A and B are shown apart, each in its own frame.
Chain A
Amino acid sequence: KQEVTQIPAALSVPEGENLVLNCSFTDSAIYNLQWFRQDPGKGLTSLLLIQSSQREQTSGRLNASLDKSSGRSTLYIAASQPGDSATYLCAVPISGNTGKLIFGQGTTLQVKP
């Protein structure tokens, strides 16, 4: 059974810091891994999707890495800004005739001005 864990649950940093969010999963047989952002009271915004054959994916100040063999992914945020404050979720699809995503519990990030 696939389980996804995110550490830490919450993180507070001063503006301008580079930071790393962690995601681990128990079953390494994944198609891909997706990182999302959720602002309070809002839906999910897709940030990055990294395919199982990729090791990295970049979008602006965001960089996601994937190490399938160790069951880990990291989301690196460079030069953090107060607007980056949100909950960050990682998710992996389970195998089979389903699109079901298994989500981590999220990391709530606060970037202080």
Chain B
Amino acid sequence: GAGVSQSPSNKVTEKGKDVELRCDPISGHTALYWYRQSLGQGLEFLIYFQGNSAPDKSGLPSDRFSAERTGGSVSTLTIQRTQQEDSAVYLCASSLVGQGAGEQYFGPGTRLTVT
């Protein structure tokens, strides 16, 4: 079956522009997560969705970052007024059940470069 997919795979944008990153989770997975991985850094949690609601958005670095999930499926991470420090690989994951109880499956990531 299909795994987690993300688009675009690569995105280059100018500082100050807005970007949207998309995640399509595995069908039937109720939980969805966004993480990011900066060059040479570890994985940083951003936000957790259970269905369409986000019980934990504690990892969003600033109010320039927002995310939504619709229909219990697709999620979009939006970064407004991008800064160079936003450059990273943004990874999406999904699991059958949430609250840490389920195995998380990751997508291939979106590599964001802010110039």
| Residues in chain A within 8 A of chain B (CB atoms) | 31-32, 34, 36, 42-46, 49, 89, 91, 93-101, 103-106
Q: Mark B87-115, 1 if CB is under 8 A from A, else 0.
A: 00001010100111111111111000000
Count of chain B residues with a beta carbon within 8 Å of a chain A beta carbon: 27
Q: Is there a chain A Cβ closer than 8 Å to B8's Cβ?
A: no
In the complex formed, the residue of B with least CB distance to A4 is B42
Structural contact, B91 and A43, CB atoms closer than 8 A: yes
Structural contact, B42 and A99, CB atoms closer than 8 A: no
Known: A97-B50, A97-B99. 7 other contacts (CB 8 A): A32-B101, A32-B103, A97-B55, A99-B50, A100-B56, A100-B58, A101-B33
Given the contacts A89-B43, A103-B42, A46 and B106 also touching, CB distance less than 8 Å: yes
